[in-house]
Amino acid sequence: MNAKPTTRDADLARTAAIHAKLERLRQLADDHFGHDPDAIHWGHVGDLGRVDAGLDELLAIFGGDGE
């Protein structure tokens, strides 16, 4: 019989998933999010603005001082 996961198990699993996603986001950022740096346009800048705002919202949730 399988035991139900504890809240600690679920927390650790979700934290690991978040770390993996943050690392992937870091890799994408290091690669200019797949865009040719010489071909960046305002649409790309707008997308990054949405990402920036979303990250601020996430930081605010956890008391990390989003702008």
pLDDT per position as a tens digit, 6-52: 999 999 999 999 999 999 999 999 999 999 999 999 999 999 999 99
Parse the chain into domains and list their residue ranges.
1-30, 38-67
pLDDT per position as a tens digit, 51-66: 999 999 999 998 877 5
The pTM assigned to this predicted structure is: 0.77
What pLDDT score was predicted for residue 67? 60
**Are residues 60 and 66 in contact, defined by beta-carbon separation less than 8 angstroms?**
yes
d(CA 51, CA 57) in angstroms, rounded, equals 10
